[in-house]
Amino acid sequence: MAQASSKKEKRAQQAQERARKKIVRPVVVGGLIAAVAIFAAWSYFRPTEPLGEHFTSMGRTHIPQNTPPPRYNSSPPTSGPHAGLVRWDNFGTEISELNQIHNLEHGGILIQYNCAMLPAGKSCAAVETALREITAKARRDINRKILLAPYSRMPRPIAVTAWRRLQYFDTADEEGILRFADKFINKGPEFVP
């Protein structure tokens, strides 16, 4: 009789163990799936490092072309009183600040460079060539509304601007410039295709 009781107890323990495993396995697997889903959602929606610096708007008043520009709150400027547009192109000379801003107001991106700020040994021609290639890729893959021009009144070798946004670069960083352009193209207060 003791042996029968022992077999019953053993079967009962085995049944309890099976029942416990039936509960524990799904809970563990479900927990792992939930953890992976939470991590994936966090990775997708987490705040990313901001691109460039955000500037307070200086307005968007239209003024005559021959008006002396005001003192802007960024260099190159990212908003403020401005005159007419310039064509979306590559320029070998500086674009008036008054015109730069109008292109930004229409959602454009400006890529500008200051060869005087390049480190010793860096060729201005090489930087211009690299930036022309990046600009062509940005126009092809992102949007045509991108300007390239020199600009001598900035403290770093390269600047990329959008409406109220500015990011400096020390090198012709293709990935960084394209990411900025992709993020801020057509983000000006006036959408003009």
pLDDT at residue 35 above 90? no
Phi/psi zone of residue 107: left (φ > 0), alpha (ψ -120 to 50 degrees), beta? left
Q: Tell me what the mean pLDDT of segment 155-173 comes to.
A: 97
Q: In what order do the strands lie in the sheet with 53-54?
A: 53-54, 165-169, 158-162, 109-113, 146-150
Share the mean pLDDT of the chain: 89
Confidence at residue 3, expressed as pLDDT on a 0 to 100 scale: 63
Question: Of all helices (H) and strands (E), which one includes residue 110?
Answer: strand 109-113
| Residue whose pair of structure tokens reads 């705040």 in the numeric block | 47
User: Measuring CA to CA, which residue among 94, 83, 34 is closest to residue 61?
Assistant: 83
Measured distance CA(95)–CA(184) in Å, rounded = 20
pLDDT at residue 36 above 90? no
| CATH fit for domain 53-184, picks 3.30.450, 1.10.3470, 3.40.30, 3.30.70 | 3.40.30
Confidence at residue 154, expressed as pLDDT on a 0 to 100 scale: 96
Q: Where are the domains of the chain?
A: 1-46, 53-184
Confidence at residue 4, expressed as pLDDT on a 0 to 100 scale: 59
User: Measuring CA to CA, which residue among 104, 115, 98, 103 is closest to residue 150?
Assistant: 115
Q: Tell me what the mean pLDDT of segment 58-86 comes to.
A: 96
Measured distance CA(102)–CA(94) in Å, rounded = 15
Q: Please tell me the pTM assigned to this model.
A: 0.76
Residues 6 or more apart whose CB falls under 8 angstroms from that of 92 comprise 149, 150
Q: Tell me what the mean pLDDT of segment 123-135 comes to.
A: 97
